[in-house]
A and B are shown apart, each in its own frame.
Chain A
Amino acid sequence: KQEVTQIPAALSVPEGENLVLNCSFTDSAIYNLQWFRQDPGKGLTSLLLIQSSQREQTSGRLNASLDKSSGRSTLYIAASQPGDSATYLCAVSPESNYKLTFGKGTLLTVNP
């Protein structure tokens, strides 16, 4: 059974700092991995999608890496801003089907 763990559960940083969010998964037989952002009381916004054959994806100040064999992914946020404050979720899709398995998320607070 796939399990996804996100560390830390919460993170508070000053504006401008670079930061890394971690995601680990127990079953390396994945099809892809997605990073999402969830604002309080809102839905999920897809940030980056990494296929199992890829090592990283970049979008603006965000960079996500994937090490499938070790079951790890990181989300790097450069020059953090208060608007980045949200919960960041990691989810994996297994090779055999479509069911996303989510971590519980990292609550990020960027202080002005």
Chain B
Amino acid sequence: NAGVMQNPRHLVRRRGQEARLRCSPMKGHSHVYWYRQLPEEGLKFMVYLQKENIIDESGMPKERFSAEFPKEGPSILRIQQVVRGDSAAYFCASSLRWGQEGQFFGPGTRLTVL
């Protein structure tokens, strides 16, 4: 049973470009969460999605960031007009149901903004 998959693993963008990060949850999981780990910081919650629905995006910056989890295909975290401060590791997690079995994390995408 494949775990949570994320791609790309490393992404380099220049300031002003767009970054698209993809996450495929574990088989059978319909809950997806995105977290960001800034250098020297702990992981911070960004957004929680179920298929075709954004449940909670309270941790996501209001500008330039968006997320989706379509009926078919992976969840996408999109960052428009990236700035150096967006450089971080972005982790996706999935769960079968929220809470009971915990969240299972992918390997992360390391975004570097030049």
A and B from one complex: yes
- The residues in A between 35 and 85 inclusive whose CB is less than 8 angstroms from any CB of B are 36, 41-46, 49, 51
Please tell me the size bucket of the interface on B.
20 to 34
Q: Does B42 contact A (CB under 8 A)?
A: yes
**A93: B residues at CB distance < 8 A:** 99, 102
Q: Does B25 contact A (CB under 8 A)?
A: no
A–B Cβ pairs within 8 angstroms, 6 of them: A4-B42, A43-B91, A44-B91, A46-B103, A99-B48, A102-B44
Total interface residues in chain A, CB < 8 Å:
25
**B22: A residues at CB distance < 8 A:** none
Chain A residues within 8 Å of B, Cβ to Cβ: 4, 31-32, 34, 36, 41-46, 49, 51, 89, 91, 93, 97-105
Q: How far is the CA of A4 from the CA of B98 in the complex (A)?
A: 20
Chain B residues within 8 Å of A, Cβ to Cβ: 4, 6, 31, 33, 35, 40-45, 48, 56, 59, 91, 93, 95, 98-108, 110
Q: Assess whether B59 is in contact with A49, with CB atoms less than 8 Å apart.
A: no
Q: How far is the CA of A51 from the CA of B100 in the complex (A)?
A: 8
